[in-house]
């Protein structure tokens, strides 16, 4: 390999790294504020008959998904509002696991937010009147870290649990393969 | 070469023979642990069931404990160590459930009754016909949301029969009375409120014309109670709370606890931080025994909440203890707190075996308890005095029980506190034994204890109370205790306070035991073996591999054809099997309250599915 070629490869690599770094985190700190409302009408379903399409990803999702402050806030709420009592640190208990690739009601962040807000019939409580809309989005953002969905540099490298659990930055990414609307 | 050529086929034949022999073995070697024998059953004078609570066996099985003394002993003796090897399947029945099946079948005059975990369907099977076809099905249709507030799988611990009716509870807090012949509802009572996190998983007991029911939800910040419903109408006769002021606890002038620690006014308030008793747990999800002679019921109370002990300084009365109450009025007669200020979720709800033990030249009315905290208690059932408390499993968090004060002595450095992790806590939260009752044989005088050998690490933190959500404040991670075996089956001599034999089981034992007069004892394992052992030596005599793990109680009854039958429902689940029943993820060591970490291998050893298996000897 010639040294010139090596140099250009390095350069290319450097550009790629730089570009990736640009993409690292979108905080939208100066963007136009989007109302903190919940994903109304978000369906957990996969089948849309007659060729109709599921709704597009809620625009507010971008404010929370892959967003380190939102995920960190969600991580605290997850313990403070006793999510951990039912879902443990992702492995589940009274409630289903949140770290695997199975999403009964959809694994998109807006679908998770909808499940938290509206509750689900087999025991998931409806949190709409107990948490703010912002908190629900933050929780949804954190829940996605349990299956390794967000970018690793957005999640905390320190587990909140005192022992034995894997920090978010080491959580393997689960392919969200169970339902059409769950993938993104 | 020639020689080898000749020898090879022989060697082959030999190994083929060996392989065949291996195939013929009813199980692989590692799943058939043998018993370690420490001694013989007591000769001569030994403990016997309380006579008034132990009627002659009519061949039926009408309540989970078999009788008011909770012996789980069948006087049928056709099945013996000599012939148990010939036990074969008589019929099976699918329960159409995939969660943990803890309930025993009931048998009443030719009909078998099964109550399933949520959705708590009650089946009646006609034993007089070939294949035991369904007579009727009763569906109580409990609220689906109840599943979200049931701490450890959506189990039900059984129904009870009395005077033409079947009584059982539903997960969403109701008690039903159903006509045993027609399957028609007689009455229904709503007792629990799932909005507060209350469920009902226990089997009721019918005694003195009352149906006794208690709540579950010690992990949800509920306030524990026991209620008595009129057997005929379902009307509430009395309800006693297990925390709060004396008037709520039905403590009056007749209340005479044996030890000073349990004496005083309104301890159910004073032994808690302000108002913490209102959300302090102390539920009644376990077993009740009844002594018809004194008309006293005996039941234990659950752990206090939250698990994080720093949030509830004090003794937390009347949690983690044992009540004796008058069945007619509910008035408390005595109380003994096994674990004051419980540190480890060591509920005190385990079965209470009423037995009279040799004492001096006579007998003393006693109760026997393999407790969750690892001690086998022998107590005077009239007074609540602890006569002995002997470890029957591995304990490193308690030094012992002070028989002068009655108080258990915790090891201070093993106490969990918010903000730190304490390791190597033995026994773990499910104790040396959880809910699954032991059996007591008046033939051998031994108590047959199916139990567990788990230790754990705990990290405690502040828990927030939000009604209808968990109130725990602890991350738990369990693992096998010393020796590596997670289950133990112990035959215990309660009078001489010693093991007679012990079988180390790989998986935690979560099924109750059955003792029979034929000196065969039965229990199930979480990988699906129903085992029959010799009541005197623990020798494995017979086993059958069910389709799912067994956490349900085996029973024995006399069929309409006069033969002795053994019945059990398989269906893995419960706290120990939630990893299968709830499809939990084994990568999170804290999943399922930390139990998942101890049974990561279970999903490869058992799949879910409720199925009744009934066995008998060939004609």
pLDDT reported for residue A30: 53
> Is B578 an 8 Å CB contact of chain A?
yes
Asked whether residue A8 is domain-assigned, the answer is no
> Is A126 an 8 Å CB contact of chain B?
no
Strand stretches in B428-473, DSSP E:
439-441, 446-452, 454-460
Asked whether residue A43 is domain-assigned, the answer is no
Give A-chain residues touching B459 at CB under 8 angstroms: 161-164
pLDDT reported for residue A184: 37
Give the domain range for residue A79. Answer: 61-184
CA distances from B266 to B252, B334, B572 (A): 10, 14, 42
B184: CB partners within 8 A, 6+ apart: B178
Asked whether residue A150 is domain-assigned, the answer is yes
B344: CB partners within 8 A, 6+ apart: B373, B397, B416, B425, B427, B428, B429, B458
- With beta carbons less than 8 A apart as the criterion, state whether B544 and B563 touch: no
Taking a contact as any Cβ pair under 8 Å apart, which residues of chain A between 64 and 83 contact chain B?
79-82
B258: CB partners within 8 A, 6+ apart: B334, B336, B380, B383, B384, B385, B386, B406
Spatial CA neighbour of B478 closest among A170, A94, A92, A163: A163
| Distance in Å, alpha carbon of A59 to nearest chain B alpha carbon | 31
| Distance in Å, alpha carbon of B481 to nearest chain A alpha carbon | 18
> Is A170 an 8 Å CB contact of chain B?
no
CB contact under 8 A, A96 and B592: no
Asked whether residue A120 is domain-assigned, the answer is yes
- Going residue by residue through chain A, which has 184 residues, state the pLDDT in tens, using 9 for 90 and above: 455 555 565 555 555 555 555 555 555 555 556 667 888 778 888 889 999 998 899 988 989 999 999 999 999 999 999 999 999 999 999 999 999 989 999 999 999 999 999 999 999 999 999 999 999 999 999 999 999 998 888 988 877 766 566 777 777 888 755 443 433 3
Torsion of CA A27, A30, A35, A41, to 10 degrees: -40
CB pairs under 8 A between A and B: 125
CB contact under 8 A, B475 and A95: no
CA distances from B200 to B169, B408, B506, B569, B594 (A): 6, 29, 31, 20, 23
B615: its two tokens? 């066995």
Q: pTM for the whole thing?
A: 0.91
B188-215 core/surface letters (b: 16 or more CB in 10 A; e: else): ebebbbbebbbbbbbbbbbbbebbbbbb
pLDDT reported for residue B3: 44
Minimum-distance CB partner of B145 among A100, A123, A165: A123
Low-confidence ranges of chain B (pLDDT < 50): 1-30
Catalytic residue among B102, B198, B315, B345: B345
Strand order in the sheet with B205-207: B205-207, B210-214, B225-230, B236-241
**The CATH number of domain B48-73+91-616, selected from 3.40.50.410, 2.60.120.1440, 2.30.30.30, 2.140.10.10:** 2.140.10.10
Beta bridge partners of B85: none
Q: B570: helix, coil or strand?
A: strand
Give B-chain residues touching A93 at CB under 8 angstroms: 578, 582, 584, 591-593
The pair phi, psi for residue B191, each rounded to 5°, is: -115, -40
The CATH number that applies at residue A100 is 1.10.760.10
Spatial CA neighbour of B160 closest among B290, B283, B48: B290
CA distance linking residue B57 with residue B34, whole number of Å: 31
Asked whether residue A10 is domain-assigned, the answer is no
Asked whether residue A3 is domain-assigned, the answer is no
Asked whether residue A78 is domain-assigned, the answer is yes
pLDDT reported for residue A40: 73
> Is B418 an 8 Å CB contact of chain A?
no
**Minimal Cα distance from B154: which residue of A?**
A94
pLDDT reported for residue A29: 57
Residue B219 is a catalytic residue: yes
- With beta carbons less than 8 A apart as the criterion, state whether B385 and B402 touch: no
- With beta carbons less than 8 A apart as the criterion, state whether A134 and A36 touch: yes
Q: B159: helix, coil or strand?
A: coil
pLDDT reported for residue B226: 98
CA distances from B271 to B221, B244, B263 (A): 17, 10, 12
Count of domains in chain A? Answer: 1
Compute how many other C-beta atoms are within 10 angstroms of the C-beta atom of residue B230: 14
Minimum-distance CB partner of A94 among B150, B419, B459: B150
How large is the angle between the packed helices A133-146 and A109-118, nearest 10 degrees? 120
CA distance linking residue B295 with residue B381, whole number of Å: 12
Catalytic residue among B120, B156, B242, B303: B303
Beta bridge partners of B240: B226
């Amino acid at each position: 390999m010639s040294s010139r070629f090596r140099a250009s490869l390095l350069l290319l690599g450097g550009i790629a790294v730089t570009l990736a770094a640009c993409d690292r985190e979108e905080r939208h700190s100066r963007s136009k504020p989007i109302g903190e409302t919940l994903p109304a009408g978000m369906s957990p379903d996969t089948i849309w008959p007659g060729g109709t399409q599921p709704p597009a990803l809620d625009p507010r999702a971008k404010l929370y998904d892959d967003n380190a402050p939102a995920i960190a806030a969600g991580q605290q709420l997850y313990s403070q509002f006793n999510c951990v009592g039912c879902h443990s640190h992702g492995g589940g208990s009274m409630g289903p696991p949140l770290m695997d690739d199975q999403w009964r009601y959809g694994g998109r962040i807006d679908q998770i937010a909808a499940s938290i807000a509206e509750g689900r019939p087999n025991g998931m409580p409806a949190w709409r009147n107990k948490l703010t809309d912002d908190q629900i989005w933050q929780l949804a953002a954190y829940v996605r870290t349990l299956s390794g969905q967000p970018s690793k540099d957005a999640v905390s490298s320190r587990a909140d649990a005192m022992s034995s659990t894997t920090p978010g930055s080491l959580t393997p990414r689960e392919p969200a393969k169970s339902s059409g609307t769950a993938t993104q | 070469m020639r020689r080898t050529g000749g020898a090879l086929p022989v060697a082959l034949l030999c190994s083929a023979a060996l392989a065949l022999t291996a195939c013929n073995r009813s199980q692989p070697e590692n799943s058939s642990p043998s018993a370690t024998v420490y001694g013989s059953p007591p000769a001569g004078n030994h403990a016997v069931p309380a006579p008034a609570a132990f009627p002659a066996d009519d061949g039926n099985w009408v309540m989970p404990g078999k009788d008011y003394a909770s012996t789980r002993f069948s006087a049928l003796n056709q099945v013996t160590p000599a012939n148990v090897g010939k036990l074969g399947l008589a019929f099976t029945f699918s329960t159409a459930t995939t969660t943990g099946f803890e309930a025993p079948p009931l048998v009443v005059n030719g009909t078998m009754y099964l109550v399933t975990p949520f959705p708590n369907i009650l089946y009646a099977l006609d034993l007089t016909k070939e294949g035991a076809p369904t007579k009727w099905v009763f569906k109580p249709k409990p609220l689906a949301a109840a599943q979200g507030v049931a701490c450890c799988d959506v189990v039900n611990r059984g129904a009870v029969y009395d005077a033409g009716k079947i009584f059982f509870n539903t997960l969403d807090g109701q008690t039903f009375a159903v006509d045993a012949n027609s399957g028609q509802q007689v009455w229904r009572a709503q007792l629990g409120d799932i909005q507060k996190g209350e469920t009902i998983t226990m089997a009721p007991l019918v005694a003195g014309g009352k149906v006794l029911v208690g709540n579950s939800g010690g992990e949800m910040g509920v306030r524990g109670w026991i209620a008595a419903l009129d057997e005929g109408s379902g009307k509430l006769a009395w309800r006693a709370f297990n925390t709060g002021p004396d008037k709520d606890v039905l403590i009056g002038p007749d209340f005479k606890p044996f030890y000073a620690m349990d004496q005083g006014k309104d301890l159910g308030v004073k032994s808690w931080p302000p108002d913490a008793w209102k959300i302090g747990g102390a539920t009644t999800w376990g077993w009740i025994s009844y002594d018809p002679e004194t008309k006293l019921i005996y039941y234990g109370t659950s752990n206090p909440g939250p698990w994080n002990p720093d949030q509830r300084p004090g003794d937390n009365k009347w949690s983690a203890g044992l009540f004796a109450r008058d069945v007619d009025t509910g008035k408390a007669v005595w109380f003994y707190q096994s674990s004051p200020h419980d540190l480890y979720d060591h509920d005190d709800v385990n079965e209470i075996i009423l037995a009279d033990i040799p004492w001096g030249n006579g007998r003393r009315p006693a109760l026997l308890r393999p407790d969750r905290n690892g001690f086998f208690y022998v107590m005077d059932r009239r007074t609540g005095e602890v006569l002995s408390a002997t470890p029957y499993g591995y304990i490193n968090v308690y030094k012992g029980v002070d028989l002068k004060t009655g108080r258990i002595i915790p090891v201070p450095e093993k106490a969990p506190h918010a903000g730190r992790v304490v390791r190597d806590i033995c026994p773990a939260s499910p104790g040396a034994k959880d809910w699954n009752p032991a059996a007591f044989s008046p033939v051998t005088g031994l108590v047959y204890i199916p139990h567990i050998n788990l230790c754990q690490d705990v990290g405690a933190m502040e828990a927030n109370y939000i009604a209808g959500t968990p109130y725990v404040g602890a991350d738990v991670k369990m693992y096998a205790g010393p020796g590596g075996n997670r289950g133990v089956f112990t035959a215990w001599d309660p009078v001489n306070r010693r093991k007679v034999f012990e079988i180390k089981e790989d998986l935690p034992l979560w099924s109750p035991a059955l003792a029979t007069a034929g000196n065969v004892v039965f229990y199930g394992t979480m990988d699906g073996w129903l085992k029959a052992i010799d009541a005197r030596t623990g020798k494995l005599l017979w086993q059958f591999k069910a389709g799912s793990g067994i956490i349900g109680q085996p029973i024995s009854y006399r069929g309409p054809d006069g033969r002795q039958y053994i019945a059990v429902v398989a269906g893995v689940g419960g706290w120990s099997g939630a990893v299968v029943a709830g499809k939990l993820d084994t990568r999170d060591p804290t999943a399922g309250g930390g139990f998942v970490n101890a049974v990561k291998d279970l999903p490869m050893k058992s799949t879910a599915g409720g199925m009744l298996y009934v066995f008998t000897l060939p004609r």
